[in-house]
Amino acid sequence: MDKNARICIIGGGPAGLSAGMYLEKKGYENYTVLERSDRVGGKCWSPTYNGRRYEMGAIMGVPSYYAVHDVEEFCGITHDGPQLNRNYKNAQGKVIEPFEPKKNLLKIPRLLKMKKQLKLFGELLETKYKGYDINGHRGVAEGRYEGFAVTPEREPVSGTNPNLKDLALPFSEFCKKNGVELVQDIWIGPFTSFGYGYFDEIPAGYVLKYLDFQTCMNFVKINLWTWKEGTQYIWEQLNEHLKNKARLNSTIEKVERRDGKVYVTVNGQVEEYDKIIVTAPLHIPGTRADGQKGMDEYFDVRDDEKELFSRIDYERYDVLAVETLPEDHPEISYYVFDNMVKERLGHLMVYYRRWRDSKEQVITTYALRKHKNMKEIPYEDCRRMVLNDLKTMKNPASKVVNEWSVYYFPHVFSVDYANGWYDKVEAMQDKYDTFYAGEIMSFGDMDETAEYSRELIERFF
Residue type (1 letter), 158: S
* 284/257 Cα distance (integer angstroms): 21
Residue 249 neighbours by CB under 8 Å, 6+ apart: 35, 36, 37, 38, 267
Per the rule left: phi > 0, alpha: psi between -120 and 50, beta: everything else, 460 is alpha
Among the residues of 26-128, which ranges form H helices? 66-75, 108-126
Average pLDDT, integer, range 318-328: 97
Kindly report, residue by residue over 402-434, the tens digit of the pLDDT: 999 999 999 999 999 999 999 999 999 999 999
Name the class of domain 108-219. mainly alpha
Which of the two residues, 100 and 446, has the higher pLDDT score? 446
pLDDT at 377: 97
Best CA proximity match to 200, nearest among 173, 177, 181: 173
Sign of CA dihedral 220, 223, 225, 228: positive
| 7-47+66-77+228-312+412-460: CATH, from 3.80.10.10, 3.30.413.10, 3.30.450.80, 3.50.50.60 | 3.50.50.60
pLDDT tens for each residue of 130-179: 999 999 999 999 999 999 998 899 999 999 999 999 999 999 999 999 99
Taking the domains of the chain in order of start, what are their residue ranges? 7-47+66-77+228-312+412-460, 108-219
pTM: 0.96
User: Is 371 a residue whose pLDDT tops 90?
Assistant: yes
206-224 average pLDDT score: 96
- Report strand pairing: 52-53 vs 48-49: antiparallel
| pLDDT band with cut points at 50, 70 and 90 for residue 236 | very high
Identify the pLDDT of residue 85.
Answer: 94
Phi-psi region of 20 (alpha: psi -120 to 50; beta: other; left: phi over 0): alpha
pLDDT at 1: 87
pLDDT at res. 403: 98
Rounded to the nearest integer, the mean pLDDT of the chain is: 96
Q: What are the distances in angstroms from CA 194 to CA 34, 316, 331? A: 28, 12, 21
Considering only CA atoms, which of 353, 348, 319, 347 is closest in space to residue 333? 353
Q: What is the pLDDT of residue 160?
A: 98
pLDDT digits (tens, 9 = 90+) for 73-110: 999 999 999 999 999 999 999 999 988 877 777 788 99
Percent of the chain past pLDDT 90, that is, above it, reads 95
C-beta of residue 326 within 8 angstroms of C-beta of residue 398: no
pLDDT confidence of residue 267: 98
Interval 26-74: pLDDT, tens:
999 999 999 999 999 999 999 999 999 999 999 999 999 999 999 999 9
pLDDT over threshold 90, residue 391: yes
Domains 7-47+66-77+228-312+412-460 and 108-219 share a fold: no
